[in-house]
Structure 1
Amino acid sequence: MKVWALTGGIGMGKSTAADTFRRLGIPVFDADAAVHRLQGPGGTAVRAIEAAFPGTTSPTPRGPRVDREALRRAVLGNDAALKRLEAIVHPLVRQEERRFLAQARRRGARLVVLDIPLLFETGGEGRADAVIVVTAPSAIQRARVLRRKGMTEERLKAILARQVPDALRRSRADHLIHTGLSRNHAQRAVRRVVAAEALPPAPPLIPLPDPAP
């Protein structure tokens, strides 16, 4: 089974690329979605986060959940706090990833995609057979992100400071997906990557001998 990693900075159009892989029938592991589950009501990370950052969780009928805005304020601009949070969350996300890969193998998948925003920042590229980077001009990236609810210039600056620069990310890519033109253009680029990395044909089944009479 081939494992590809999909990554890109905030606002670069990674969701469009990931959705296109799914529409092509390729299983995709979404690291961000895993984090949301871990921090959601009754999530595995909730208790550890409350212990490390008191006051950042709140009760719900389905169990306590992380208040993401409170947690963001607790770690914003604090490298030590951010590292403490990552030490809680990253191993749990890896566990989810391993379960995804094991399930894909059991189902006979020949190709899967790991959608990991902080791939290079966490050294995750070594777990993939190829790295696909989604990119767009910085002006388009900025405009997309600032349209998001609650986003500010200060918050965007803090997020970008944590991420590998786009130029470096592109220099380490096996394939690039440009999303600055249109959604259709990006979707066609994904299809070209899949075609270029065509999987070898499945080996023929070897017939078993008839059982002895």
Structure 2
Amino acid sequence: MSPAPSPLKRLGLTGSIGAGKSTVAALLRERGLTVLDADEQARLVTGEPEVLSELARRFPGSVQGGVLDRAALADTVFGDPARLAELNALIHPRVRARMAALEAQAAARGEPWVVQDVPLLFEGGLEAGMDAVLVVDAPLEVRLSRVMARSGLSRDEVLARDARQLPASEKRRRATVVLDNAGTPDDLARQVDAALKRLSVHPETSGGNGQT
């Protein structure tokens, strides 16, 4: 009998707002790893008709013309822990189910590792299910500048969003490997390669297609 396949291992990827997590996710995909993007799955979930209907009922004004108005929804829930918890209770189980299904597909392809790209990995208590966690970080001022440039948010608005997350220092403490994204793209790429080597993640044998 042939040996049973090794269980799929999970590499968690997270970081504070503006740290460059999406850039690292792209680098991991380039190296052949399958990256499961929790934000992308959440966007798909909130496009489902039954979810949109529930959002419209629970959060009046959040759905316009059958399309989710993300800014309106954010205005409703951010700063209101009870409303945010209600939203998370609706969305998160569906996202987890999608992530689990995608993991199963990766396991069926014989991939030994899959990356879970989860912005609130620590906040959601998901680190216990990871075999290792990469945390992307950068100095606060660098992160603020990046987010302001791409989003149009004010400095105070970005600071408020950052304050709702676990402090970057605590994320660094809990990380298996920290990637410092204050330098050049080449420097970050070298750090990614070093991290994969340290963790014995071998993308060339993963069989990943890099898709979410």
What TM-score, normalized to structure 2? 0.88
Displacement after TM superposition at 1:101 (Å): 0.7
Q: Which runs of 4+ in 1 moved over 3 A?
A: none
Displacement after TM superposition at 1:44 (Å): 5.2
Alignment match, 2:10? 3
SS in 2 for 1:151: coil
Alignment match, 1:112? 114
The answer on whether the counterparts of 2:28 and 2:35 sit within 8 Å (CA) in structure 1 is: yes
Provide structure 1 residue ranges, at least 5 long, that are not aligned to the other structure. Answer: 203-213
- Alignment match of 2:87 (pick from 77, 85, 88): 85
| Residues 175-190 of structure 1: pairs in structure 2 closer than 5 A | 175-190=177-192
Moved more, 45-54 or 89-98: 45-54
Q: Deviations over 1:152-196 (max 9, x none)?
A: 233213211210000000000000111100111111111111112
2: CA distance, partners of 1:102 / 1:175: 26
The answer on whether the counterparts of 2:144 and 2:155 sit within 8 Å (CA) in structure 1 is: no
Q: Larger RCO: Structure 1 or Structure 2 (Cα < 8 Å, ≥ 6 residues apart)?
A: 2
User: Residue 173 of structure 1 aligns to which amino acid in structure 2?
Assistant: A
Change (3 A) 1:118 1:44: farther
Provide structure 2 residue ranges, at least 5 long, that are not aligned to the other structure. Answer: 1-7, 206-212
Question: What is the aligned residue count?
Answer: 197
- Alignment match of 2:144 (pick from 142, 166, 169): 142
The answer on whether the counterparts of 1:6 and 1:116 sit within 8 Å (CA) in structure 2 is: yes
2: CA distance, partners of 1:132 / 1:138: 18
SS in 1 for 2:110: coil
Change (3 A) 1:92 1:44: farther
Displacement after TM superposition at 1:73 (Å): 1.3
SS in 1 for 2:151: coil
The root-mean-square deviation of aligned C-alpha atoms, in Å, is 1.7
2: CA distance, partners of 1:197 / 1:68: 37
2: CA distance, partners of 1:199 / 1:152: 39
SS in 1 for 2:135: strand
